[in-house]
Chains A and B, each alone.
Chain A
Amino acid sequence: MRKGAGDIELAGLCKSYDGKTNVVDGVNLRIPDGAYCCFLGPSGCGKTTILRMIAGHEEPSAGEIVIGGEDVAGMAPVERRTAMMFQSYALFPHLTVRDNIAFALRVRGQSKAERYKAVDLMMEKVRLTELADRLPANLSGGQQQRVALARAAITEPRVLLLDEPLSALDEQLRVQMRQELRRMQRELGITFIHVTHTQLEAIALADLVVVMEKGRIKQSGPARDVYAYPRDRYVAEFLGGQNVLSGRVEKIGEGHVVLSQPNRSGIQVGLGSDTRVSVGDRIDLAVRRDDVELMRVDVGGLGDGMTALPSRVVAIEYQGSFVKVMLDTVPDEDFVAYVPERTFFRDPFNVGDVLLATWSAGRARVLA
């Protein structure tokens, strides 16, 4: 297997279909060789268009795509040494599993014996040997995905592009195939670029998560950075797991600020010392849902540097390992605490209870 040179650089990448609005709007990104990169965003954010431009199925309106140090503008997919795994796989319905995988070798003019030898090796690798003579219509979703993967991998690409590869599968299989993708990526040792709108999928798989909105990159970085330290409100809300509070800074105190909102003021929120805000700023704050601790109002003894907001329980959802408690802490916005299951059932709350949502000041982060 030819390796290396699978690093990708996107510079000022733009795509417009009508000459007016950019579907992809000035994307700059470096993806190191052999990385598992996930483009994450809602539908219509331009992530699939980027993928198709890297694949060579779509030409950029502006900007450059450099793969392995080589500008690939105008090159066919095979010349780029990219391969694409299409959403819902696009397996050829009239060809058996073996012939589907052998297709790329067939169009290169390899003899039947030659290409079947290579295909048999590949089928062994992805555990498809027993299904070699089946047609795609008689395969399960997971099997189809393995065929699609094998069909793409046999071209020995340096970059594999996956367009929503798990969306056609049911929940249970999705988790299973997720691991399979990761395993294949390690085995092949090539760059994977995976487009998805599912946050869990992205952070579970990726070395590099790229969050997109309206054709632009909102934040990119390792999964943990993006999840735990979202840069702005959009990223925080899209990745979930965060409560976002917004308001105008009313007063700045020692280690805390006082926020006001249109119909409520005096929300005192603790802040780490290194954050810079000034009075009158409109700011967004993020607090992780699992950093929020719930206390009964009458307990007292709040520690130093703790923020406590009185709240009413709106709804409770049991999630297995934790309990999701929804609160009316901030008007018109969701505020959720993830309480560990055992902690919750030691002293369960009921809907309507009034309590304090607390967190230590250092946990709150100001968003851009």
Chain B
Amino acid sequence: MTVVLGETDMPMIRSRRVSAVVRGDRRPWTFYALATVFTLYVAALYGPMICIYILSFQDIRGGLVFPMKGHSLHWFVDLFTQVRTGDVKGSFDRSIKLAVLVTVITLVVSLMAGLAFRRRFFGDTFVFYLMIGSLVAPGLVLGLGIGLLFQWVGINASWYTSALGAQLSWTLPFGVLVMFAVMSRFNSVWEEAARDLGASRWQTIRLVVIPVIAPGLVAVALFGFTLSYDEFARTLQTAGSLNTLPLEIWSMTLNVTSPSLYALGTVTTIVSFVIIGACIGAIVIINKRRGARATSD
């Protein structure tokens, strides 16, 4: 997750630096000191991951440690053909489906909560802390509890029931918190104007509220998806007999001793980055289109 957070912060940092150059300021020595710290931080953050990506491109003689032995895509092929590496394709499939499900539910519920919490209502503070509480609760324990509860009630734990619930206890508070930030910039006078012009409540939400906060909604969706896609602690005791991808990777670390483990790491990272890139791209396109239309004449 740290990777995702770091990545979304980047555009802000870039734009600030550009504006400093435009103003023609001379950079103080603190800039260089902090830049060094930041570079070291980034190296520490990405270095270990990059080692894994590099090692996944070895040939058939490859081992789990440096030095690198040849280079090929052997372990990627191995990943999807060898039975002994486990059910990578099946678990990947499940993880994507689960993440999409979690994203949709998080998006809808966060939007509704964001709209509701603009006004005070009876018990609002209580509801808010109840929600934040599930963020603070230790994931493993929470997952264990959900697993126990399902067993007690007599429902089979599976990734689309108990694990879905367990993951929502993690993504919903995040989604709602992001939504609060998004809604704080939404001026409710727009809704009043829509009503004044004859829009029904539903038309107001569809034609005014959602389009105005669209970039924020993409951010909430991104949170929902990435949090679910690599969720481990809460899913461990709730996924039932079929594993999600993080669980599969974990079980593979226990019995697989070939670089195909690294190949899997590389593939999942690429998937993550594609999704993050698509979301950021969507936000940029939304904003650009507004900006372009605005300045085209």
User: A residues bordering B, Cβ < 8 Å?
Assistant: 55, 57, 76-78, 83-84, 86, 88, 90-96, 103-104, 106-108, 130, 133-135, 137-138, 151-152, 155
Beyond the given pairs A57-B192, A91-B193, A94-B212, 8 more chain A to chain B contacts, judged by CB atoms under 8 angstroms and listed by A's residue number, are A83-B197, A86-B196, A92-B212, A104-B197, A104-B198, A107-B200, A137-B290, A138-B294
Shortest distance in angstroms between A72's beta carbon and chain B's nearest beta carbon?
14
Neighbouring A residues of B297 by C-beta, 8 Å: 130, 133-134
B290/A84 in contact, CB under 8 A: no
A137/B294 in contact, CB under 8 A: yes
* A-B Cβ contacts below 8 A, count: 76
Please list 12 pairs of residues, one from A and one from B, whose beta carbons are closer than 8 Å in the complex, sorted by A's number: A77-B195, A77-B197, A78-B198, A86-B192, A90-B187, A92-B212, A93-B290, A103-B194, A106-B207, A133-B296, A133-B297, A134-B294
B293/A96 in contact, CB under 8 A: yes
A92 in complex: contacting residue of B200, B208, B214, CB < 8 Å:
B208
Distance between Cα atoms of A162 and B73 in the complex (Å)? 69
Neighbouring B residues of A103 by C-beta, 8 Å: 194, 197, 199, 207
User: B residues bordering A, Cβ < 8 Å?
Assistant: 187, 189-190, 192-200, 203, 207-208, 211-212, 214, 290, 293-297
Distance between Cα atoms of A198 and B194 in the complex (Å)? 28
Neighbouring B residues of A90 by C-beta, 8 Å: 187, 189-190, 192-193
Shortest distance in angstroms between A364's beta carbon and chain B's nearest beta carbon?
47
Closest residue to A108 on the B side, CB-wise? B198
B211/A94 in contact, CB under 8 A: yes
Shortest distance in angstroms between A134's beta carbon and chain B's nearest beta carbon?
6
Neighbouring A residues of B198 by C-beta, 8 Å: 76-78, 104, 107-108, 155
Q: Do most interface residues of chain B lie in helix, strand or loop, or is the interface mixed?
A: helix
Closest residue to A131 on the B side, CB-wise? B297
Shortest distance in angstroms between B116's beta carbon and chain A's nearest beta carbon?
20
Lowest 3 CB-CB distances: which A-B pairs, in order? Answer: A78-B198, A104-B197, A135-B294
Distance between Cα atoms of A83 and B194 in the complex (Å)? 11
Shortest distance in angstroms between B225's beta carbon and chain A's nearest beta carbon?
24
A86 in complex: contacting residue of B189, B200, B293, CB < 8 Å:
B189
Distance between Cα atoms of A90 and B284 in the complex (Å)? 24
Shortest distance in angstroms between A28's beta carbon and chain B's nearest beta carbon?
26
Neighbouring A residues of B208 by C-beta, 8 Å: 92
Neighbouring B residues of A86 by C-beta, 8 Å: 189, 192-193, 196
Shortest distance in angstroms between B278's beta carbon and chain A's nearest beta carbon?
21
Closest residue to A93 on the B side, CB-wise? B212
